[in-house]
Amino acid sequence: MTYVHPIHDAPKTFLSKYIISFDHKVIGKQFLWYGIFFLGIGGMMALMIRWTLAYPGEAFPVLGNLLFPHTNGVVPPDTYAMLFTLHGTIMIFYAITPILIGAFGNYCIPLMIGARDMAFPMLNMLSFWINFVAGGLLLASLFTPYGGAAGGWTSYPTLSTLIGSPGVGQTLWCLSIFVLGASSTMGAINYVTTVISFRAPGMGYFDMPLTVWGLWLTAILNAIFLPVLGAGCMLLVFDRVFGTHFFLAGAAATQGTGDPVLFQHVFWIFGHPEVYILILPAWGMVSDFLSFFSRKPAFGAKSTALAMTTITILSTVVYGHHMFTTQMSPLLTQTFMTLTMTISIPSAIFFANWLGTIWRGSIRFDSPMLFSLGVVFVFGLGGLTGLYLGTVSTDLYLHDTYFVVGHFHYTMAASVLLGGFAATYFWFPKMFGRLMNETLAKIHFWGTMVGLNGIFFGMMVLGYAGMHRRLYNPFVYEFMQKMIPLNTFVTISALVMGVFQLVFVYNFIHSMLKGEKASDNPWEVGTLEWTIPSPAPHYNFKEIPVVKCGPHEFGNPNLNNGRDFQYQTEELVKA
Amino acid sequence: MKEATLGYTDRDRASLAMTVALVSFAMLFASLFLTYAVYRVRSAMWPPMGFDKIPLTLPSISSAFILLSSFSFIRFQRRYEKKATNKTYYYLTLILALGFLFTQNQLWNYLNETGVFVESGTFASILHSFTWIHAGHVVLGMLALIFCLPALRKNKKDYSIRISNVGKFWHFLGIIWIFMYIGIFLF
């Protein structure tokens, strides 16, 4: 009775092959290009922010005179607010989400569970193009009379009401997030259904690679919590356009009074799960890569999957730790603090599993492994610094300082970025049939790793010293003037990291066109996507595979066929 | 390795996807109700000073329309599954849905005539915007109903999955309206 997609003819025209494609692999690549494009824009914005903090009042090199001619190339204060707002929004919603969830979710889920396509290919196609519309709306907001949104990526009222940010920019921001939410929800519906109902015969939930686990849990969180942000954005749009009073208070509310803090609640009910939405795919991938490149079964794979599930559930009840300074009742803050601390238990479990996996493995230091080890390091740092922010007493001091900025960049930016690079290097051969250049990849890794730690560790030190976030020129305050050298260091690190990303872009494009031809299984890994030719044919699997063993069968002493791994389609070799 | 049996049919898949979609929609409306609960619980009196309770006539007519349309769609679906397609119940569903939108429009007119404008504080904001958002979804639901139109033709293709999913969405909107009726208008 099981339905499988029939093998279609390969699409012929340019339009059906590359633009309006229903093929999950093409949609995945579309998302990848789209995400990398926005990563470039968001990264450029980050450099402008950093430049302003290190060299206040000096013209931004090269692009400055082009973008801000009326100030001779210096980033103006209002533009600065716009830059940090859109940097956050773009990186979270238009770079990380499309790359990790859109690109690798689409590309990997059907291939790794042995399906010919997603459950609903047309919904998948619509999901990409609606996302494209959302991106268009956001970019369009930059060209409105008062410029783009400038209320921070969290868009708290009153910063985001008509008084805080007049003009159409903020309204377009809300609309674009709403449309993006619709697109992501459509993707999530597809992922959840596909994982549940399209697994190849024989594949139980614990036979799925952990990558698929991560993406699946992410999709569940997406489907549940994105609509909450959608509701918040919608009410904010009503406040701005129709004059409702949901988030207006004080003199702004002409009749009756709304509640600006309510938006914070709605935002973080979504926002805390969102943190896990972003990191779960990277966790899953890293759990797999560590096993693949240590040539060892993933230590406690089942408990890793269960720990991720536990975190998914716990992530829904801890959002209050973002709002300790909003005069919450102490009973509530302590409850949220305790619940937040509970998350360390499953986190410690899978972290120990990661270390257990590489312990005494015969590690191959290929580029995906290097990036995965990078994730282990930066996520360790990011996770541990989270404890100080989850604790009420320390958070009262650290709230809204650069410590917070450093912390969430370590968890959400550094880990996810490194995880995304690991995934790109790992699946590139299957995507394009060619290998990426290993030497350039290693140069890219070390440059990124050094730059990234310089930036984010520097930020944490600055924050601990008391530097507030979102200030145009913090050095007008006397006590912060001593921090100019450290800020300069952070900015130089950012420039270094930025330069090394050019290596990646060159490597990506050059390898795609002229790289060394890849074999079907260049990494010697047993999951289903490596049983088919590289690049994957449009129908994926000629015959739907039957799964007979788990995804991490490495180094089995009973294997005697010259390989140290087993394909998932092979019976587990026993003594 | 135990053999997992994955006998998912198209119908299972469709109903699974619809369930996830309805969870998403439910969370959207749940957030709205949360907003409402916060304002309601924290205000000294409800409706606030200067406002009267909204008479139940129009909301009750709306409720009747949307409930009847749901029942009508259930009749249509039952007949379709017995291969005895009856156009009457399908068009009746659509007409009742239009009736619902008309009554909602009357409600908005009434609110504006009695000075409960959308700008007049949180009470009015909630009345207006929640009914707008719901009505917007009803329009989506009506598009979904129209999407079932091919099922009326005498052809061999089976539309029962589509009809059952559209039905779920339509009943869901009815249930949300009943929640609004009880939560916002009745109490």
Of A231, A255, A550, the CB nearest to B121: A255
Q: How confident is the model at residue B36 (pLDDT cuts 50, 70, 90)?
A: very high
Q: How confident is the model at residue B6 (pLDDT cuts 50, 70, 90)?
A: low
Top-confidence residue, A32 or B153: A32
Cβ atoms of residues A568 and A550 within 8 Å: yes
Q: Which residues of A touch B5 (CB under 8 A)?
A: 201
Taking the Cβ of residue A108 and every Cβ of chain B, the question of whether any pair is shorter than 8 Å is answered with no
Structural domains in chain B plus CATH codes: 66-187 (1.20.120.80)
pLDDT at position B50 is: 83
Alpha carbon of B27: minimum distance to chain A alpha carbons (Å): 6
Of A185, A188, A196, the CB nearest to B16: A196
Taking the Cβ of residue A560 and every Cβ of chain B, the question of whether any pair is shorter than 8 Å is answered with no
Of B38, B120, B133, the CB nearest to A259: B38
Q: Which residues of A touch B140 (CB under 8 A)?
A: none
Alpha carbon of B148: minimum distance to chain A alpha carbons (Å): 18
Q: Using the beta-carbon criterion (under 8 Å), do A256 and B10 form an inter-chain contact?
A: no
**What's the pLDDT tens digit per position in A237-251?**
999 999 898 998 776
Give the Cα separation of A28 and A430 in Å (integer). 12
Alpha carbon of B23: minimum distance to chain A alpha carbons (Å): 6
**Mean pLDDT for back-to-back runs of 10 residues, chain A (575 residues):** 70 85 94 96 95 92 90 92 96 95 95 93 95 96 91 91 90 96 96 93 93 96 96 95 87 70 95 94 96 95 96 95 92 95 94 95 95 96 94 94 96 94 96 95 97 96 94 92 95 96 96 93 94 92 91 90 90 85
Up-side HSE of residue B32: CA atoms within 13 Å toward CB? 27
pLDDT at position A251 is: 63
Q: How confident is the model at residue B1 (pLDDT cuts 50, 70, 90)?
A: very low
Pick the residue of B20, B38, B133, B140 with the most A CBs within 10 A to test the interface with A by mutation: B20
Q: Where are the extended beta strands (E) located within A276-404?
A: none
Picking from A277, A315, A113, the residue whose alpha carbon sits closest to that of residue A210 is A113
Q: Which residues of A touch B12 (CB under 8 A)?
A: 197
Enumerate residues 218 to 247 of chain A having a beta carbon within 8 A of any beta carbon in chain B: 223-228, 230-232, 234-235, 238, 242-246
Picking from A56, A375, A15, A7, the residue whose alpha carbon sits closest to that of residue A214 is A375
Which residue of B lies nearest to A268 if distances are taken between CA atoms? Answer: B31
B47 preceded by cis ω (within 30°)? yes
Of A3, A200, A201, the CB nearest to B10: A3
Please, which residues have CB within 8 angstroms of residue B29's CB and are 6 or more apart in sequence? A231, B133, B134, B176, B179
Give the Cα separation of A380 and A387 in Å (integer). 11
**What's the pLDDT tens digit per position in A507-550?**
999 999 999 999 999 999 999 999 999 899 999 999 889 999 99
Cβ atoms of residues A449 and A315 within 8 Å: no
Of B12, B29, B118, the CB nearest to A244: B118
Alpha carbon of B37: minimum distance to chain A alpha carbons (Å): 11
Which residue of A lies nearest to B132 if distances are taken between CA atoms? Answer: A238
Q: Which residues of A touch B34 (CB under 8 A)?
A: 265-266
Give the Cα separation of A331 and A337 in Å (integer). 10
DSSP annotation of A10: P
Q: Which residues of B touch A235 (CB under 8 A)?
A: 32, 35, 129
Q: Which residues of A touch B2 (CB under 8 A)?
A: 204
- What pTM did the predictor assign? 0.94
Structural domains in chain A plus CATH codes: 24-328+336-531 (1.20.210.10)
Q: Which residues of B touch A207 (CB under 8 A)?
A: 1, 4
Q: Which residues of A touch B123 (CB under 8 A)?
A: 256
Which residue of B lies nearest to A572 if distances are taken between CA atoms? Answer: B1
Picking from A228, A312, A235, A231, the residue whose alpha carbon sits closest to that of residue A270 is A228
Q: Which residues of B touch A117 (CB under 8 A)?
A: none
Give the Cα separation of A321 and B171 in Å (integer). 37
Q: Using the beta-carbon criterion (under 8 Å), do A231 and B31 form an inter-chain contact?
A: yes
pLDDT at position B152 is: 87
How many angstroms from the chain centroid is the CA of residue A49? Answer: 21
Of A188, A190, A266, the CB nearest to B31: A266
Picking from A467, A460, A450, A451, the residue whose alpha carbon sits closest to that of residue A406 is A460
Scanning A433-481, the segments in alpha helix (DSSP H) are: 438-464
Taking the Cβ of residue A14 and every Cβ of chain B, the question of whether any pair is shorter than 8 Å is answered with no
Query: Would you put residue B67 in left (φ > 0), alpha (ψ -120 to 50) or beta?
Result: alpha
**What's the pLDDT tens digit per position in B100-152?**
999 999 999 999 999 899 888 889 999 999 999 999 999 999 999 999 998 88
Which residue of B lies nearest to A243 if distances are taken between CA atoms? Answer: B119
Question: Does the structure's ipTM exceed the value 0.85?
Answer: yes
pLDDT at position A223 is: 96
Of B9, B17, B48, the CB nearest to A256: B48
Taking the Cβ of residue A549 and every Cβ of chain B, the question of whether any pair is shorter than 8 Å is answered with yes
Residue A555 burial by Cβ neighbours in a 10 Å radius (0-12, 13-18, 19+): middle
Pick the residue of A255, A257, A327 with the most B CBs within 10 A to test the interface with B by mutation: A255
Task: Judge whether residue B5 has pLDDT over 50.
Answer: no
3-state class (DSSP) for residue B166:
helix
Q: Using the beta-carbon criterion (under 8 Å), do B3 and A572 form an inter-chain contact?
A: no
Which residue of A lies nearest to B123 if distances are taken between CA atoms? Answer: A256
Could you write out the DSSP letters of every residue in A491-513? HHHHHHHHHHHHHHHHHHHHHHH
Pick the residue of A177, A191, A197 with the most B CBs within 10 A to test the interface with B by mutation: A197
Tokens of A416: 């996810």
Tokens of A444: 């890219």
Q: Using the beta-carbon criterion (under 8 Å), do A224 and B119 form an inter-chain contact?
A: no
Q: Taking residues B82-89, what's their average pLDDT?
A: 84
C-beta contacts of A571-575 below 8 A and 24+ residues apart:
A571/B1, A572/A548, A572/B1
